[in-house]
């Protein structure tokens, strides 16, 4: 199998290295002149041992599992895992909740895992959602990937499905993870920017890593600025295995789909939300559960065999690739409902420890080199962060099924094992003493025996599978599957990010990569930066044209339902209470949450009684809501028309393509004077409930210049 490394792929390797063609046509990076390489320039381990390859972990064959003997990978990951204390290095800012997973479509023919064994079987869960780049004190709404981790407390032990809201990742091999995170974190010499990828070091790394281009399409899309944690998808990312009771295996990908549908914000809205409510997503999740509006996700699996995998134009072990749903429709197996907030944020959300190596019988790993690195990385992280090998005894991490072994002592040991047997095998039971637990060959976990992927000679190599070299086909698939204005959002996001990059050669390199994805995209970015398009970057493997996948678009699948949405109604003294009550009742009937906004909080006299606002106008900007309406008298409307907070309230709602309901005074005194013209989403209050909370993206070209 061929390695995918080429000089074009690693421009940083131009000095001191040559790329030579091997007997099988593969390329190998070799030192061109060892003597010419300056001692200070040679990459080494912490023990001073020169590193020959910093791009690929050591594997048992090109598509085989990563090897624990890879001391370069082990040291690099080990050091990275322990760089921060005590908050998580990545995914530091998180929100979580308890719930239950219910099996709705048993799959015993595919897996012996008990949680999928019978219809109606329920398993307690704890789910944590998070941003990736920022620290624990950063805001909720930056452009970023969202973590989506679920701990299943099964009757066979804990299973942690640890993924993201995006089905692919930036890198193919775990050995590059420290480099990726170092690049996106605050720059080392200045300590900023926080929770942002729009800076030199991140885009410098990305421009040198063509394998990241598919993920960049997702990260620059609206998927990276979600409306709510309740409205994100979740993906296991990697290819896993399912193994049934007879030992037969299948490949599997896991997908969570939110019952409320996937919804995003727009960039200007996300920026303003960060200022108006830094805890926007955390508050939204907590309040929804607190009100009994429990968020729910359906769990789907994409199951396939070796024959299917071999027939695809990409490698299923490559975490920068996905399987389009149109090619392999997902199968629903269950539903997760989150129904209880944590009692204590620190004890549960902050001390929860997830690890992809935590699996149960019936679920197993593939040789995905990114997954292989994660399997031994997470334990290192938990030890440093939680301070003890006994972190599994914390209530949030403890299994809810019986747990017995011979592990003893250690810092913060809270269990009190009895008897003198702390080793196995032992024969103490023959003398009438407690001998302790024993192996369970019939029911215990057994690793799938053919995990070398069956087609590899087993040589120890630092290479990647041949198909790993295609870095652009699926990036193009994602871009072409978006609506026109989603493509414009994506291009504009790249323009914004690169406008913050001060090193011109980095911008040029990124644009040269974009030309391999789509010429129109590259041209839009170049025009937005007022730069000339550079030549397309050389490719390691020719791009394959793939059929568009509508499932990858948010807008093509959007359903404008009221359920789970928050709608604001602006009023003032003298407003018609009956009109407001009608709006409130309609919002509630649709499953939404009404929120009354006024210039002042506290009881106010209105026509038909009194009303109290849920929030004050200046502190409740329209960016916090999915749709807005206003019921107000002419004199109050004239007064509000002079108030900047009121002007911004309506202008932002209009600019963010939201549905706006108005009364006659609002239209005459505020909307008309602000230049907000009626359209399909600016309607009288009598029509508001039939339309809200839909977004009206056809309004966007009138409002802002997009790339």
Give the residue numbers annotated as catalytic, written as ranges: 91, 164
Which helix (H) or strand (E) covers residue 443, if one does? none
DSSP label at residue 176 = G
Burial 244-265 (b: 16+ CB within 10 A, else e): beeeebbbbbbbbbbbbbbbbb
CB 267 within 8 A of CB 493: yes
Query: What value, to the nearest 5°, has the Cα angle with vertex 680 and ends 675 and 686?
Result: 95
> Residue for token digits 């006299």?
605
DSSP label at residue 117 = S
Q: Provide the terminal-to-terminal Cα distance of the chain, rounded to the nearest Å.
A: 41
- CA of 596: how far to CAs of 612, 628, 658, 687, in Å? 8, 10, 17, 19
Q: Which tokens in the block code for residue 215? A: 């993920």
Looking only at the bridges linking them, the beta strands covering 659-662 and 627-630 are parallel
Distance CA 461, CA 575 (A): 75
Distance CA 185, CA 195 (A): 7
Contact partners, residue 84, CB within 8 Å, separation at least 6: none
Looking only at the bridges linking them, the beta strands covering 615-616 and 593-598 are parallel
CB 662 within 8 A of CB 634: no
Beta strands in 118-202 (DSSP E): 122-131, 146-154, 157-164
Listed in sequence order, the DSSP H helices in 445-518 are 473-480, 484-499, 504-514
DSSP 3-state of 303: strand
Distance CA 225, CA 230 (A): 13
- CA of 475: how far to CAs of 269, 308, 495, 544, 570, in Å? 26, 21, 17, 11, 43
Q: What are phi and psi of 512, to 5 degrees?
A: -65, -30
Let me know if 209 is exposed, middle or buried by CB neighbors in 10 A (0-12, 13-18, 19+).
buried
Contact partners, residue 505, CB within 8 Å, separation at least 6: none
Helix (H), strand (E), coil (C) string for 638-703:
HHHCCCHHHHHHHHHHHHCCCEEEECHHHHHHHHHHHCCCCECCEEEHHHHHHHCCCCCHHHHHHC
Distance CA 269, CA 467 (A): 39
Picking from 265, 277, 287, 275, the residue whose alpha carbon sits closest to that of residue 593 is 287
Listed in sequence order, the DSSP H helices in 213-365 are 213-219, 267-276, 280-290, 306-311
Picking from 180, 159, 132, 135, the residue whose alpha carbon sits closest to that of residue 236 is 159
């Amino acid at each position: 199998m061929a390695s995918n490394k080429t000089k074009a792929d690693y421009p940083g390797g131009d000095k001191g290295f040559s790329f030579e063609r091997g007997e099988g046509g593969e390329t190998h990076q070799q030192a061109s002149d060892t003597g010419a390489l300056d001692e200070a320039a040679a990459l080494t381990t912490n023990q001073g041992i020169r590193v020959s390859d910093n791009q690929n972990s050591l594997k048992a064959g090109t598509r085989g599992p990563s090897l624990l003997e890879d001391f370069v990978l082990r040291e690099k990951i080990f050091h990275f895992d322990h760089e921060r204390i005590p908050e998580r290095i990545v995914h530091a800012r998180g929100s979580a909740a308890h719930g239950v997973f219910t099996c709705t479509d048993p799959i015993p023919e595919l897996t012996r895992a008990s949680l999928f064994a019978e219809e109606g079987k329920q398993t307690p869960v704890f789910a944590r959602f998070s941003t990736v780049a920022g620290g624990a004190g950063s805001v909720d709404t930056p452009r970023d990937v969202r973590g989506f981790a679920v701990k299943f407390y099964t009757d066979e032990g804990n299973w942690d499905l640890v993924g993201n809201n995006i089905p692919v990742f930036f890198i193919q091999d775990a050995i590059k993870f420290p480099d990726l995170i170092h690049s996106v974190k605050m720059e080392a010499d200045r300590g900023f920017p926080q929770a942002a990828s729009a800076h030199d070091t991140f885009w410098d790394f990305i421009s040198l890593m063509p394998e990241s281009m598919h993920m960049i399409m997702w990260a620059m899309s609206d998927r990276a600025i979600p409306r709510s944690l309740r409205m994100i998808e979740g993906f296991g990312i990697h290819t896993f295995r399912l193994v049934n009771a007879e030992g037969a295996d299948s490949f599997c990908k896991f997908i969570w789909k939110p019952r409320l549908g996937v919804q995003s914000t727009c960039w200007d809205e996300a920026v303003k939300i960060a200022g108006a409510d830094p805890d926007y997503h955390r508050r939204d999740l907590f309040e929804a559960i607190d009100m009994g509006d429990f968020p729910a996700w359906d769990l789907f699996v994409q199951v396939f065999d070796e024959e299917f995998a071999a027939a695809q134009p990409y490698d299923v072990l490559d975490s920068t690739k996905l399987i389009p749903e149109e090619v392999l429709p997902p199968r629903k197996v269950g539903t997760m409902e989150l129904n209880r907030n944590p009692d204590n944020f620190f004890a549960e959300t902050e001390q929860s420890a997830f690890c992809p190596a935590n699996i149960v019988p019936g679920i197993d790993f593939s040789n995905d080199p990114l997954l292989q690195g994660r399997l031994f990385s997470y334990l290192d992280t938990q030890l440093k962060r939680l301070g003890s090998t006994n972190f599994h005894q914390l209530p949030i991490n403890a299994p809810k099924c019986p747990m017995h072994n011979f592990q003893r002592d250690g810092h913060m040991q809270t269990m009190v094992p009895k008897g003198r047997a702390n080793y196995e095998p032992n024969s103490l039971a023959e003398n009438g003493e407690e001998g302790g637990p024993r192996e369970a060959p019939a029911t215990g976990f057994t690793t799938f025996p053919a995990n070398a992927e069956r087609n590899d000679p087993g040589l120890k190599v630092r290479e990647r599978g041949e198909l790993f070299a295609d870095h652009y086909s699926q990036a193009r698939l994602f871009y072409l599957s978006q609506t026109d204005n989603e493509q414009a959002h994506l291009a504009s996001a790249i323009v914004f990010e690169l406008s913050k990059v001060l090193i011109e050669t980095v911008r040029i390199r990124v644009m040269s990569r974009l030309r391999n994805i789509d010429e129109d995209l590259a041209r839009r970015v170049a025009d937005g930066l007022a730069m000339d398009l550079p030549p397309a970057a050389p490719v390691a493997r020719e791009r394959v044209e793939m059929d568009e996948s509508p499932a990858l678009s948010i807008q093509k699948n959007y359903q404008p339902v009221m359920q789970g949405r928050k709608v604001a109604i602006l009023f003032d003294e003298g407003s018609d209470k009956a009109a407001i009550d009608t709006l409130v009742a309609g919002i509630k009937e649709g499953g939404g949450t009404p929120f009354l906004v006024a210039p002042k909080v506290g009881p106010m006299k209105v026509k038909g009684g009194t009303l109290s606002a849920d929030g004050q106008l200046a502190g409740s900007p329209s960016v916090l809501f999915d749709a807005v309406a206003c019921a107000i008298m002419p004199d109050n409307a004239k007064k509000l028309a002079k108030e900047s907070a009121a002007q911004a309230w309506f202008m932002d709602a209009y600019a963010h393509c939201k549905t706006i309901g108005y009364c006659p005074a609002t239209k005459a005194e505020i909307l008309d004077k602000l230049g907000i013209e009626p359209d399909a989403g600016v309607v009288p209050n009598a029509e508001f409930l039939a339309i809200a909370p839909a977004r009206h993206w056809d309004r966007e070209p009138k409002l802002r210049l997009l790339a």
